[in-house]
Amino acid sequence: MIKKLSAVVAAGALVMSLSACAPEGAAKNCDKVTEVTWLGTIKVEIQDQFLAAVDDYNASQNCYKVVSLKGEGDSLMAQLTTMYAADNAPVVMTMLQELPNMADKLMDWTGTDLAGLAADGTLTAANIKGKQVGIPVTAEAFGLLYNKAVLDAAGVDPKKITTRDELEGAFKAVEASGKKAIHFSGLWWSLGAHLTNKFFTNTGEDHEARLKTLDGLADGTLDLDADATWNNWLDTFELLKKYDINAKKPSLSDSDYDAAVLDLSKGNVGFWFMGNWAEPNLLQNDPEGSYGVMPLPISNEAGAYGNDSISVGVPFYFTIDTEQSTEEERAGAIDFLTWLITTEEGQTHYAGSIADDNMSFIPVYKEFKVSPTTYMAKEIADYLAAGKSLEWMNSYYPAGGQNLYGDAAQKFLAGKSDRAGFTAEFEKAWKGAEKTWR
């Protein structure tokens, strides 16, 4: 999947400037307006920009009105369960790990125009037993974000960091320059999905080998204490803990995200473990800054698989309810997404600069003419073009799993558990999990 995604995104979506196709079946004047409910705003980091796109779409026609419903709580699956039980399901939802559980309630996109525009490989994770239950929102990458100005001042070249020891050397160089090395966010979702992915994606060089790791944990047959990849990953986790700007009192609250944005954009730190979805926030604080992304090495073998690559994948899929929605509501959902993905105005909202109040997504659809131009987006394109991307194994976690792994990781970060305790809690969270990835 990632190889196909790499080729299309690097050679196509990020650099091409093909003409946008006209939307088929675009909304015309209607006698009544159909309300289309949308759960959440895709991502909280760009909620204002998303709502601006909704407002422009709503103003562009009088057949449909897209309405964003506020998400409640951390678990999407729990919220959806409550909403469906109350016969109040949203028409549109964005989801990932929840797809296998929700598949019977979702529209099949097979044969649709929008599914046909999706880049090769981007539909895979949303194909559940032959039913295409979603289409991709965007591509995202995560790793170590860095402030180029801080690293330049410290004499650090991120391209030359290929081992954990070299990473520690970079941390020391940044601190010697008078800055702190890294802001390591204790956010449950960052720890539970993205940091843990660095373990799973390094357990094998092909998809099936990585799935066998998930199998072993679900069956209770994989002994993490004796697993070399797990112990290397834990060593890297401890390195990040050691140099964290909040090492003496780790920040575990949701507000830590905003604090980290400030630390990196103001040059208080050189690094932050996060993803390119944070670039718009960084550039809002420092429009002239350059923020890159580099791999997080988890071993001291320079040529080891994964040490020179960043994690790239589809973070969410657009899905449409078929159990409780009407035909008119579904038509409105498709019309809005068609507008967003295929019209020049919609594409500008989707991929345009955050400085112009757009979402700055990396396009994963063919015939896109609006392309991101930021420093980080170009770096991601370079990694993809070089074949240096890692699969998002967190796409295959059981629904709600990342919450459990994140909770366990937070305890470890805060010193409330040691390596053995964290390992045991991680194994317990996985044991007996339904193999939705099979």
Q: What is the pLDDT of residue 73?
A: 62
pLDDT at 126: 95
Please say whether the beta carbons of 290 and 148 come within 8 A.
yes
Q: Give one word for 281, left, alpha or beta, with left for phi > 0 and alpha for psi -120 to 50.
A: alpha
Residue recorded with tokens 């429009």: 287
Q: How far is Cα of residue 392 from the mean position of the Cα atoms in its chain?
A: 9
Write the CA distances from 294 to 85, 158, 287, 312, integer angstroms.
44, 7, 21, 12
The domain segmentation of the chain, as residue ranges, is: 18-139+314-370, 140-312+390-430
Q: Which residue is listed with tokens 């895979």?
A: 124
How far apart are alpha carbons 359 and 346 in whole angstroms?
11
Q: Which residue has the higher pLDDT, 153 or 76?
A: 153
Question: Cβ of 67: how many Cβ atoms within 10 Å?
Answer: 13
> What's the CA gap between 384 and 198, in Å, rounded?
17
Q: 130: which DSSP letter?
A: T
By DSSP bridging, strand 269-275 and strand 180-183 are parallel
pLDDT mean over 11-30? 45
CATH topology for 140-312+390-430 is D-Maltodextrin-Binding Protein; domain 2 (3.40.190)
Two domains, one topology: 18-139+314-370 and 140-312+390-430: yes
Whether the pLDDT of residue 368 is over 70: the answer is yes
> How far is residue 126's CA from residue 114's CA, in Å, rounded to a whole number?
14
Strand 291-294 and strand 140-147: the pairing is antiparallel
Q: Provide the token pair at 196.
A: 């843990």
In angstroms, the CA 302 to CA 134 distance is: 38
Burial of 388 (0-12, 13-18, 19+ CB in 10 A): middle
What was the pLDDT predicted at 17? Answer: 33
Q: What is the pLDDT of residues 280-311, one digit of tens each?
A: 899 999 999 999 999 999 999 988 999 999 99
Min mean pLDDT across 31-40, 273-282, 328-337, 371-380 is at: 371-380
Q: Which two tokens stand for residue 89?
A: 């399901």
Examine the pLDDT at 9 and tell me if it is beyond 60: no
Q: Are 187 and 254 in contact (CB under 8 A)?
A: yes
Q: What is the mean pLDDT of residues 418-434?
A: 97
pLDDT above 80: residue 429: yes
Residue 272 identity (one-letter amino acid)? W
State the average pLDDT for the chain.
91
What's the confidence (pLDDT) of residue 8? 46
pLDDT tens sequence across 122-135:
998 999 999 999 99
How does residue 13 score in pLDDT terms, banded at 50, 70 and 90?
Answer: very low
pLDDT 10s digits, 229-276:
999 999 999 999 999 999 999 989 989 999 999 999 999 999 999 999
Instruction: Give 94's strand partners.
Output: 318
Mean pLDDT of 144-148: 98
Alpha helices in 386-418 (DSSP H): 401-413
Which phi and psi (to 5°) does residue 153 adopt? -65, -30
What is the DSSP code (8-state) at residue 158? Answer: G
Nearest to 317 by CA among 97, 49, 116: 97
Question: Which CATH fold topology does 18-139+314-370 show?
Answer: D-Maltodextrin-Binding Protein; domain 2 (3.40.190)
Residue 338: is it exposed, middle or buried by C-beta count within 10 angstroms (0-12/13-18/19+)? Answer: buried
8 Å CB contact between 298 and 150: no
Tell me the pTM: 0.80
Q: Is the torsion defined by CA of 279, 284, 286, 288 positive or negative?
A: positive
- Taking the C-alpha atoms of residue 177 and residue 401, their distance in angstroms, rounded to an integer, is 40
CA dist 207 and 48 (Å) reads 37
Find, among 164, 207, 204, the residue nearest to 307 by Cα.
164
Q: What would the pLDDT profile of 339-349 be if each residue is shown by its tens digit?
A: 999 999 999 99
